[in-house]
Amino acid sequence: MGISRVLSVNRGEIAARVVHAAQALGIEAVQAVSAADRESRAAQLADRTVVIGPAPSRQSYLDAKLLVHTAVQTGCDALHPGYGFLSERAELARLCAEHGITFIGPAPETIAALGDKLEAKALARAAGVPLVPGTDRIDSAEEAAGHARELGFPVLCKAAAGGGGRGMFIARSAADLLAGFDKASNEACEAFGDGTMYMERYVENARHVEVQVFGDGEGKVLHFGERDCSIQRRYQKVVEESPCAAMPDGLRAELHRAATALVASVKYRNAGTVEFLYDVERQAVYFIEVNARIQVEHPVSEQVTGVDLVKLQFRVAAGEGLALEQSQIAVRGHAIECRLNAEDPTRNFQPSPGRITRWDAPHGAGVRFDTHCYDGYLVPPFYDSMLGKLVVTGPNREAAVDRLEHALAHLHVAGPVTNLALLRYIAAHPDFRANRLNTRWLEQTLLPAFAEDSKE
């Protein structure tokens, strides 16, 4: 292994996951934490823990120069960014390169190109990947209204540098565009430093399907199947599964070809996810974006392929290349992941930090729980509210749903309010079991019913 010591610069369950993977490969793991994360599981597991700053992420996890300085000072020859925070910022990858530190992710120029959604669309178009009918850059609400008349309402306005639903809104009329355009652009500018907007035709009955890819940086790309991430709230994923049981095999093969063609065209290195919109009515897939990092939902791909993707990240970053061939990667069975969050679904998902007074996680065959929490852990109020990810695997989707219901029934958390009741409600819903889902199902069907039943 060409890496001897790695600095993990993220937090939560992904930090613990990185530490585990590094140590399993014989790599010393140094964990960077804010003052609020001293008690975290990753801090306890790491060979060494370094407090890099106070709780606010801008003074700790979001300070690229501070992170690279910490790597240099602790003698690390590699840095793993996890997901979120600076994982998709070319600046961090570039600083690592300048200081001789291996960045466990794509090259900085690749991150920059794919991080701009308009540039990523241009790359997809050049690679022959299908796109949702839409526009390039739009500079005003009036210009947007003109394009919308050509595309036909409804349309989806999106921030070119956006993510997580910020700077994004659906417009069903010119009045909606005039009311929402400047607000979305300003939101994107505040969140990403770039208020550039563009527009796509809105697909009413759609699924969100993404392909897990891996590149060696020389043009070889492998895929590890696809994930259906259609259960979303405000464009944030809640439940993910692999494979997409609603997709016919012919279209599935087309999806895989499109994803690998795009990332191969930019000589992509390390882990990535190519996201698509699956138009159920037209039986077509359209490119959305590339996430140039490991994803929250990568465990479902690991469960159905049997490949540890985080370990593979280390191997590729160390220059070992991709020893696997596509013919050696087979998707077997079905896996489902749901995110346990410290938030109250009955109070508009208000965050609920605090001390965990009971933590009973399910276990057994086909059950995996990735977390940084434990009985007595203090959930800080400064960051994302995710406590862990419950992942179940079965020989088919029906068996996986059965196992999910059983595992959720045996998951118990006290202290902070969580979304556990909502996850149980989803798993028991007949639409979920029958796979009658789309990207609007949770908000339009499930949440109103859950709210009514919660009043009783």
Q: What is the largest CA-CA distance in the chain?
A: 60
Q: For residue 239, which of 338, 332, 326, 307 has the smallest C-alpha distance?
A: 338
Distance CA 438, CA 280 (A): 9
Q: For residue 206, which of 441, 427, 398 has the smallest C-alpha distance?
A: 441
Distance CA 413, CA 403 (A): 19
Distance CA 402, CA 268 (A): 38
**155 in Cβ contact with 167 (< 8 Å):** no
Distance CA 336, CA 230 (A): 12
**304 in Cβ contact with 242 (< 8 Å):** yes
Tokens of 149: 């008349």
Distance CA 31, CA 47 (A): 8
Distance CA 385, CA 407 (A): 21
**86 in Cβ contact with 11 (< 8 Å):** no
Q: What angle do CA 125, 293, 133 make, to 5 degrees?
A: 25
Characterize 124-136 residue by residue with b for buried, 16 or more Cβ atoms within 10 angstroms of its Cβ, and e for exposed: beebebbebebbe
Q: For residue 20, which of 384, 372, 320 has the smallest C-alpha distance?
A: 372
Tokens of 217: 């940086």
SS3 at position 410? coil
Characterize 196-211 residue by residue with b for buried, 16 or more Cβ atoms within 10 angstroms of its Cβ, and e for exposed: bbbbbbbbeebbbbbb
**158 in Cβ contact with 235 (< 8 Å):** no
**Tokens 């979120």 correspond to what residue?**
84
Q: For residue 415, which of 380, 369, 372 has the smallest C-alpha distance?
A: 380
> Does residue 293 carry a catalytic annotation?
yes
SS3 at position 8? strand
**305 in Cβ contact with 331 (< 8 Å):** yes
Distance CA 405, CA 391 (A): 11
Phi, psi at residue 297, to the nearest 5°? -90, 15
Tokens of 452: 């009514």
Catalytic residue among 41, 227, 293, 397: 293
- Which residue numbers are catalytic? 293
